Amino acid sequence: PYRSLIPKNIKNLLAAGRCISGSHEAQASFRIMPTCCSTGEAAGVAAAVAAQEHTDFPETDVKKIQALLRKHNAFIGE
């Protein structure tokens, strides 16, 4: 989920790759390189959308981020 890229208590920072937030059990699935690359791409798209909308990351339109990722064939969440 997008919220896994947003660190607590740090404004306007996204964490991608192996440093995203998740349970210990989930770490085994997201520490592999393809997933790390995907979270990096999602964070980059989110940063671009946030900049265009002049919003902080928690308020950024997730549907718009997902639409852009789909447009670039980078969305797997369905």
| Digit-coded pLDDT (tens) for 2-36 | 988 999 888 889 998 888 878 888 887 777 888 88
Tokens for 60, please give them: 């950024």
Q: Could you tell me the sign of the dihedral formed by the alpha carbons of 42, 76, 59, 50, in that order?
A: positive
Report which DSSP code applies to 5. Answer: G
| Digit-coded pLDDT (tens) for 42-65 | 999 999 999 999 999 999 999 999
Q: How many CB atoms sit inside 10 A of residue 20's CB?
A: 24
Q: Are 61 and 53 in contact (CB under 8 A)?
A: yes
> Is residue 37's pLDDT more than 90?
no
What pTM, to 2 d.p., does this model score?
Answer: 0.84
Give pLDDT, residue 76: 64
Give pLDDT, residue 75: 66
